[in-house]
Structure 1
């Protein structure tokens, strides 16, 4: 009986996870498009880092130079806690519980690396399209 319950749980959870992954990829493709500073249809790693630097203030809502729990309004803390925790795991290299501007801007660029299929530090329009196609296939549309 436990095995049946586990299997049913996985059948319900897997599409949700897949759709979440597709949504993340679609968000990534959108962020990459926004990072195309010179409008040439491709994003260099330097453009992506500059875009990230510009986004820091969006997360550092209280302007103290760090992304931390203090930047999330109490009313929304529960909703954004998982996202902030994921950001901490990815960017907080000194493990002080907050993310500095340097940690955020120069931290891992997993999304860029995922999109940069040939690893030449440039995400081309074709690579962005491939990323979009993958997300649509996962979403089933």
Structure 2
């Protein structure tokens, strides 16, 4: 999976985390958990997500746009949805400040108990749910 596809999914939500780090959500936990407490706070999540803006900006114009989405066949549709959600000024592209202010549905879904952090158990549960849905679809 490319960084663009992974970060687009991370920005959007649902089963994306299970695909991070080659199918290992614990790799994302380790990378995002900057204070080493074994959980990801909303602030850590947003910082981790934001740190990949440059990777997602495939054409290096400082914005995320349809041109960037077209460069990644797996993440393109997801990126188009993210652009629609985060393009607050409706100019057809997402600036870094817009990206940083974008909703965090992935974090909200992963934080199953609503305590403001995502821990190892919540990541493991998300991965199991993703794999079950994937198996049902035959992927």
Equivalent position of 1:113 in the other structure: 108
User: Is the counterpart of residue 69 in structure 1 residue 66 in structure 2?
Assistant: yes
- Deviation at residue 86 of structure 1 after TM alignment: 1.4
- Deviation at residue 61 of structure 1 after TM alignment: 3.1
TM-score, length basis structure 2: 0.69
Identify unmatched segments of 5+ residues in structure 2: 1-12
Tell me the C-alpha RMSD between the 2 structures: 2.9
Deviation sequence 1:73-122 (CA, Å, 0-9, x none): 7xx47665423311212211221100111111221000000000122211
Q: 1:1-141 counterparts in 2 under 5 A? A: 24-27=16-19, 30=25, 32-33=28-29, 34-71=31-68, 76=71, 81-140=76-135
User: Which is greater in Rg?
Assistant: 1
| Count of aligned positions | 119
Q: Are the aligned partners of 2:14 and 2:106 in contact in 1 as well (CA < 8 Å)?
A: no
Q: Are the aligned partners of 2:17 and 2:28 in contact in 1 as well (CA < 8 Å)?
A: no
